[in-house]
């Protein structure tokens, strides 16, 4: 593009310089010079458009090559061959799990954890302590290097991907909003089987009833990407997706870290509805999001330093969780 721009500019300058010279020699009028200059522009404009399209073509070709390389990449995680996971809320067990993303520096060290069906667990700790790694292992985005991760009593290495994705769900800070209808955004283009009544009920349950009813075509209204929703509305839409898929395990990874306190309270009510009858792992920086969880797990440099009932840890002044809660209050007034 830079070369084409330089060539077209140089051509225009040369045309004007020649016209001025011929005009001073009396061989060409000013009108003729302007006519020739305008004619040169009409010739160069289509060529300029071709140059722009060539640049876009080069970008598309580069993107196609990158996509081809991605599609050709073979996953190191093999699909399991075991039967389906049991219905209802699922147990989650990490048996002496160590993990380090394939590096020589583990981020989790001998994690031993049992989460009963229907139990909600809040995981806290400093940045880099391994909180998100536990969520990724529970969803089998990675396999542990040492130990086992079991879901519903089954080693995740033996569970089929199709069943695992159907029975688990995750909500993160970043929610993908597609340029498609609200219906397609909720069902992920038909991947989730749900009736219109199911879609409306899910939106109502997470507190989006007023929002979707004000859309021009209801659940068939088109969304034009994330700009059509606030950060809080996008998170609530992700919660509605989870309700529709009805998983046995839900992982919430920093789902409210970017929200203002008012929106966070609205999201808290939706979280309570979302976690009813499900096993949940909630990873959070704001301790207020863990007010209603059953258990707390405190991590430090990949080690479990505290695990127990939230009610007991919160009232024990010697516990690390109570210490973190006090520090959070002193820092900003939000637990």
Q: What percent of the chain has pLDDT over 90?
A: 51
pLDDT digits (tens, 9 = 90+) for 138-186: 999 999 999 999 999 999 999 999 999 999 999 988 888 999 999 999 9
Q: Where are the domains of the chain?
A: 2-72, 92-332
Tell me the pTM.
0.76
Can you name the CATH fold of 92-332? Rossmann fold (3.40.50)
Output Rg (C-alpha) for the chain, integer angstroms: 29
Question: What does the pLDDT read at residue 260?
Answer: 61
Strands (DSSP E) found in 13-77 = none
pLDDT digits (tens, 9 = 90+) for 20-51: 777 777 777 877 777 777 777 776 777 677 77
Question: What does the pLDDT read at residue 5?
Answer: 63
Question: What does the pLDDT read at residue 212?
Answer: 93
DSSP-derived secondary structure letter, 222: B
Question: Helix or strand or coil: residue 122?
Answer: strand
- Phi and psi at residue 271, in whole multiples of 5°? -65, -40
| Count of residues in the chain | 335
pLDDT digits (tens, 9 = 90+) for 287-309: 777 888 999 999 999 999 999 99
Asked if the model's pLDDT at residue 257 lies above 60, the reply is no
- Phi and psi at residue 252, in whole multiples of 5°? -110, 110
DSSP-derived secondary structure letter, 105: S
Separation CA 184–CA 305 (nearest Å): 43
Q: How many CA atoms lie within 13 A of 256 on its CB side?
A: 25
């Amino acid at each position: 593009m830079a070369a084409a721009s330089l060539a077209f500019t140089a051509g225009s300058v040369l045309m004007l310089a020649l016209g001025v010279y011929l005009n001073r020699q009396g061989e060409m009028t000013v009108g003729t010079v302007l006519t020739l200059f305008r004619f040169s522009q009409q010739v160069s404009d289509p060529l300029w458009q071709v140059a722009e399209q060539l640049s876009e073509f080069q970008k598309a070709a580069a993107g196609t090559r990158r996509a081809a390389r991605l599609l050709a990449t073979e996953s190191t995680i093999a699909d399991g061959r075991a039967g389906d996971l049991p219905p209802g809320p699922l147990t989650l067990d990490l048996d002496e799990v160590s993990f380090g993303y394939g590096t020589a520096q583990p981020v989790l060290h001998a994690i031993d954890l049992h989460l009963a069906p229907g139990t909600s667990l809040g995981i806290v700790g400093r940045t880099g302590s391994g909180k998100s790694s536990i969520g990724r292992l529970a969803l089998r985005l990675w396999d542990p290097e040492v130990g086992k991760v079991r879901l519903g009593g089954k080693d995740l290495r033996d569970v089929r991907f199709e069943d695992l994705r159907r029975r688990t769900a995750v909500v993160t800070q970043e929610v993908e909003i597609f340029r498609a209808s609200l219906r397609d955004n909720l069902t992920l283009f038909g991947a989730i089987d749900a009736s219109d009544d199911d879609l409306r009920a899910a939106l109502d349950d997470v507190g989006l009833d007023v929002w979707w009813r004000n859309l021009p075509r209801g659940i068939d209204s088109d969304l034009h990407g994330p700009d059509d929703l606030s950060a809080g509305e996008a998170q609530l839409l992700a919660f509605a997706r989870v309700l529709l898929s009805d998983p046995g395990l839900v992982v919430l990874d920093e789902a409210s870290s970017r929200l203002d306190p008012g929106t966070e309270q609205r999201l808290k009510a939706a979280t309570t509805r979302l976690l009813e009858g499900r096993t949940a792992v909630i990873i959070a920086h704001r301790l207020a999001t863990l007010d209603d969880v059953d258990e707390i797990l405190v991590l430090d440099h990949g080690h479990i330093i505290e695990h127990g009932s939230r009610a007991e840890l919160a009232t024990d002044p010697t516990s690390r969780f109570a210490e973190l809660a006090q520090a959070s209050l002193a820092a900003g007034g939000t637990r």
